[in-house]
Amino acid sequence: MKGLKWLATASAFALTVCAVPALADVKIEDIVNDAATTNDVVSNGLGPQGQRYSTLEAINKDNVANLVPAWAMSLGGEKMRGQETQPLVRDGVMYITGSYSRMWAIDVKTGHEIWQYDHRLPEGILPCCDVINRGAAIYGDKVIFGTLDAKLVALNAKTGKVVWTKEIDDFKAGYSYTAAPLIVPTKAHGPLLLTGVSGGEFGVVGRVEGRKVDTGELVWSRPTIEGHMGTLNGKPSTMTGDKVNATWPGDLWKTGGGATWLGGTYDPDTGLAFFGAGNPGPWNSHMRPGDNKWSCARIAIDPEDGSIKWGYQTTPNDGWDFDGVNEVVSFDADGKKLAATADRNGFFYVLDRTNGAFQAAYPFVSKITWAKEIGKDGRPVYVDDNRPGDPKAGKDGKKGATVFAVPSFLGGKNWMPMAYSQQTKLFYVPSNEWGMDIWNEPVAYKKGAAYLGAGFTIKPIFDDHIGSLKAIDPLTGKIVWEAKNKAPLWGGVLTTASGLVFYGTPEGEFKALDATNGKELFSFNTGSGIVGSPITWEQDGEQMVSIVSGWGGAVPLWGGEVAKTVANLNQGGMVWTFKLPKKMAAN
């Protein structure tokens, strides 16, 4: 009996606990048009463009203070750690992922669990920055998510039973998967599931892959590092970059990093998918002179064949682990098709999304030390003395000169998604004000081992706050307002047509602010730090708002002196759903 009990709890399972609402298949048109519909959320970002903007207005500045919990559901168990998911909602069912590669289906009317799936994780997984998961994709009758042992799992949306499983890569080499997959239309292949890879700190090579949604069959693969060959329909296609060693020395491109660990966005206007490529490997930039393309970059991919249509590098020859994965959000202004991205390096960039042409870049955090500015050519003007020193220049060759760099390697903005309001024309960017002591060390690649070549200690740069939610005008770079927070911000943002901005804090407060001036209008303590992303939708004539609460993620693991500010925060795992009292909503 003990053996049977262990097998039941250790293996993947789906448990039905209540009746399943009638579910209609999700079509590709539903996903592409998600931003224009209010009765569901079928994409990460409330639309593939990633604006996280809702046209709903029932909850507004005058009544948001009256929000009350409609229901709450505990994720239960001992795996309460780092809940970074964004929920999906379809036909009265909410789908969320959780830490340790789990997924739930929940009845949105009652908060009752419909089914739960626990992926069976092997020993020896190598997640860099906590055991988190950022969400799922939904198409047809399937919900699909990635796992910490670098697999993709498709589940039946009604039952939670496994439909197909595909291995992305070898988890023993450092590969994993934590992002929400992206589903896009193509003419040649039908809807494709686009995914990246995690593992940049282990010397993996980043890539984006396109798979058939129904079977998981690989259609194409596009590496993000120069010199590597892509594939199409099982055959070699084209090499990434112009030639081998154009911007990478020797053989370092073979373990060059550039992990696409945050996933992507899609622009229906241009038909392009936008992905960010992370830090180059190793962190020690003196080992790899050159731009090291396409690490620390945004790339536009044609989903038809996986070819790169344009690329823009935010931090060439990165020496601070600034990555380049942050989301690319499409928006229109002054008659132009633009895209914005807030980089870990502390600058907010505006690009022409049709061709990647640089438009502007503005600092959005304080006291940036590594660059004076972003030049008119779109390249940073480096402060040479603020690059960590070469270990070979030291007395014993074991440690280079230490510098104090701002921002820290956790970034002016990390993974947490920003929002864009079509009403105010502002971006709402969750940012952090911190720096780091950083130094370089010698390192050699070893499969499955950390491939850094650097040491660091993170430090606050202000006494009263680290986190700062900022409202930014993308056409001028002006910070219209900011809402400061003692602890770092690590969760996503939602904005609505009624002039509200929703977000959460590590202290557990779920808040709504006035989108025009940042005034706090609502706050509710969820009992654990919030590192997830909120959503809103309409259910039976009522506007609902949901957030998943549960402290964790990279900050308490990598936080240095900053970790002291979050040392007493409780882990957890709760889904909170809010609405207005019916009498209030009727008024």
Active-site positions read: 321
CA distance 130 to 565: 18
CA distance 518 to 428: 10
Distances (CA, A) of 320 to 313, 393, 403: 15, 18, 10
Candidates 586, 517, 423; CA nearest to 54 is 423
Two structure tokens written together for 33: 């048009």
SS3 label, residue 503: strand
Torsion sign, CA atoms 13, 17, 22, 23: negative
Give 423: exposed, middle or buried? Use CB within 10 Å, 0-12, 13-18, 19+: middle
Candidates 66, 77, 69; CA nearest to 101 is 77
Candidates 182, 133, 200; CA nearest to 301 is 182
From its phi and psi, is residue 358 left (phi > 0), alpha (psi between -120 and 50) or beta? Answer: beta
CA distance 127 to 132: 9
Long-range pairs of 209-216 with CB within 8 A, sequence gap ≥ 24:
209/168, 209/306, 210/186, 210/303, 210/306, 211/152, 211/166, 213/139, 213/140, 213/142, 213/144, 213/154, 213/183, 214/140, 214/142, 215/164, 216/152, 216/154, 216/164, 216/165, 216/166
SS3 label, residue 344: coil
CA distance 249 to 240: 16
**Do 42 and 34 contact (CB within 8 A), yes or no?**
yes
**Do 176 and 148 contact (CB within 8 A), yes or no?**
yes
Percentage helix, strand, coil, to 5, in the chain? 10, 35, 55
Two structure tokens written together for 451: 């491939």
- Where are the extended beta strands (E) located within 486-570? 493-496, 500-504, 509-514, 520-525, 535-539, 542-549
H or E stretch covering 339: strand 336-342
**Phi then psi for 50, rounded to 5 degrees?**
80, 20
**Do 303 and 278 contact (CB within 8 A), yes or no?**
no
Placement of tokens 């701002």 in the chain? 406
CA distance 154 to 156: 7
CA distance 362 to 148: 35
Candidates 163, 156, 154, 184; CA nearest to 43 is 184
Position 47, amino acid? G
